Amino acid sequence: MATEPIPESERRPITRSTVRRVVGFFRPYKLRVALTLLAIIVVAVIGLANPYLLKLIIDDAIANRNLEKLYLYVGLMIALPILTGLIGVGQTYLNTVIGQNVMRDLRNALYGHLQRMPMRFFTATRTGEIQARLSSDVSGVQQVVTDTATSIVSNLATSISTVVAMWLISWQMTLISLGMLPIFLFFTYKVGEIRRRVKTETQETIADMTSQVEETLSVSGVLLTKAFGRQSREIDRFHGLNERLTDLQIRQQMVGRWFFMIIGTFFSITPAIVYWYAGVQIIGGNAALTIGDIVAFTTLQSRLFFPLGQMLNVQVEIQVAFALFDRIFEYLDLPVEITDREGAIALDPNRVRGSIAFDHVYFRYPDAAARPGSVALALDGAEVAVVHEEPIHAEAAAEPTPPFGLIDITFGVEPGQLVALVGPSGSGKTTIALLVPRIYDVDSGAVRIDGIDVRDVTLASLGATIGIVTQETYLFHASIRDNIAYGRIDASMAEIEAAARAAAIHDRILEFPEGYDTIVGERGFRLSGGEKQRIAIARVILKDPRILILDEATSALDTRSERLIQAALEPLMQNRTTLAIAHRLSTILAADLILVIDRGRVVERGTHAELLALGGLYARLYRQQFGAGEPEAAPVMAASGGAPGT
């Protein structure tokens, strides 16, 4: 799957299908488009009146010394521009409304499509690149959509009507005026191709710069650069990208300027050639031409050169715009891999029993780069933080490279049970958990909830049924109230506070000067790790899911925060089916079933006592963590009906 911009050599040409696709965004506004086109044509036709009024003033009113006709013609020359100005204001309003609505639809389509993209797209794509497509690329085509499309029709109508009027006066002078136009059109096309390439490079550089700004000027990025003393390096990187962007933008503005200067010069001297030809004809006794004809023709000629020059530049702008459309359509064309099947079932969260079954599940990541990375995904009030895991055990590190997937995973979880997943880092525990809410889809086999394949369930109802708490908490740059309420948008303040009390964070929230209105900062950076985690737990408590997935929520915390969070998790786990990924074995001693995962397989299963007696991988991990002694006394995550143990 391509995530980087398509190379220019492979970029699709401007074809009819591409044009139809762009036009398709205008289809919902076809009535307004028709009114705009009608206004443009009316203005173009009215604009032809002035040159003929000049001819009539000279050849009729003045030549015949007729004051009544003079007043009439002059009055019309005053009234018609006022009329066209009023029509132009209405046309500009319609054009702006159409253009802005098309931009809105384009942004909505792109954002909605990106929301449905699989996780592996986001693990392989820089956030700054995505932001560039949504912001600068769409903004780049905005001028084309709002101005250029109308300009094409307006200039085309003006040019055609003017050429016809000029031809009726003198076809010979018309040919003189337009003789060099085909040559100019050819070279303009070539200039447009060059500018299109430069524009593509410019947008890619903007994407690089956006990515660096997003990565290094975030709270975490600034902390990292300061901690490692890399400010100068990042400044130099930014200077390099900024210098490249400046050079590209200068090139973009200057490409073809000499050519357009020659065109402008030609348009300026052409009237002199016309005057010469007309003068020779009149002096030679050609009665077909009058002084009024010459004035009308040169007026029409000056009226023609501006729209022609605009159309030559528009042709260049269109090629540049299609370079941006290519980048937008590149994302819109990416396949959505995980969708609702036809006839998918909507689970009722209030009626779900909560049994989970893995039936001979096989799964493999397309490549190593697509494994879960440091990417977080909001899932209906629960955040899925996918943490890249490095091997920490000598035995695992010495073995061949793991398959980056799962092999024949089969197990069942009864409603209300706690099942713990244990194993070396990188063994596949997080992958197993992410298959339940369909963050990924199995390659073969099935994952079932209450006997129903999750692929036959709507994604919305699946998200409403499952809650997830992870060790890397993601909070929005919003108030504490808003972050907790993300679990259930329509929750009352009393319900939010109740969830916070259950998560043992309510009293701490009240200690902040703004209380629940406290802004947590980017990714919750103003809060401690334990505070963020308890807010995340409150968010899931408020959601009240039937199935709970815990990706070791306490492994990175101090002992006090760990005990607080373990205490907050106990009410959360009551009467829910829980799938817990554990790094600290002290947290899962009371599990109904422990699955030991190694290199994508379930290698051992049983209770804590049974696995210790087995003397296999679980016992080895247990001894590595606690040595010969017993684990320190600490509250544990008890299953339904269980009790805290040590």
> What type of residue sits at position 381?
G
Alpha-helical (H) ranges within 290-356 are: 291-332
Are 325 and 133 in contact by the 8 Å Cβ rule? The answer is no
- The pair of structure tokens assigned to 546 is 């039937």
Domain boundaries, the chain: 8-332, 356-478+530-626
**Maximum mean pLDDT: which of 60-64, 377-381, 626-630:** 60-64
Looking at the chain, the number of H-run helices and the number of E-run strands are 24, 12
Answer with the residue of higher pLDDT: 516 or 367.
516
Per-residue confidence (pLDDT) for residue 627, from 0 to 100 = 61
Matching fold, domains 8-332 and 356-478+530-626: no
Distance of CA 248 to the CA centre of its chain: 24
Q: How confident is the model at residue 554 (pLDDT cuts 50, 70, 90)?
A: low
CA–CA dist 330, 16 (Å, integer): 17
The answer for 352, left when phi > 0, alpha when psi is -120 to 50, beta otherwise, is beta
Residue 392 in this model has a pLDDT that exceeds 50: no
Per-residue pLDDT, averaged over 117-126, amounts to 77
Per-residue pLDDT, averaged over 314-342, amounts to 78
Alpha-carbon distance values, 531 to 134, 506, 568, 643 (Å)? 33, 10, 12, 25
* Close Cβ partners of 327 (under 8 Å, ≥ 6 residues apart): 5, 133, 137, 200, 203
**What is the per-residue pLDDT across 506-532, written as a single tens digit (0 to 9) for each?**
989 999 989 999 988 877 778 888 888
Which has the minimum average pLDDT: 128-132, 349-353, 478-482? 128-132
Q: Which CATH architecture has domain 356-478+530-626?
A: 3-Layer(aba) Sandwich (3.40)
Alpha-helical (H) ranges within 48-115 are: 49-56, 67-115
CA–CA dist 580, 275 (Å, integer): 90
Per-residue confidence (pLDDT) for residue 9, from 0 to 100 = 38
What number of other Cβ atoms are within 10 A of residue 174's Cβ?
A: 22
Residue range 8-332 forms a domain whose CATH class is mainly alpha
Q: Of all residues in the chain, what percent carry a pLDDT higher than 90? A: 14
Is 551 strand, coil or helix?
A: strand
Alpha-carbon distance values, 504 to 407, 469, 541, 562, 573 (Å)? 39, 15, 11, 12, 15
What DSSP element (H or E) covers 359?
strand 356-364
What's the residue count for the chain? 646
Per-residue confidence (pLDDT) for residue 453, from 0 to 100 = 94
> What type of residue sits at position 74?
V
Residue 477 in this model has a pLDDT that exceeds 80: yes
- The pair of structure tokens assigned to 200 is 């593509």
Are 544 and 574 in contact by the 8 Å Cβ rule? The answer is no
Q: How confident is the model at residue 380 (pLDDT cuts 50, 70, 90)?
A: very low
Answer with the residue of higher pLDDT: 370 or 148.
148
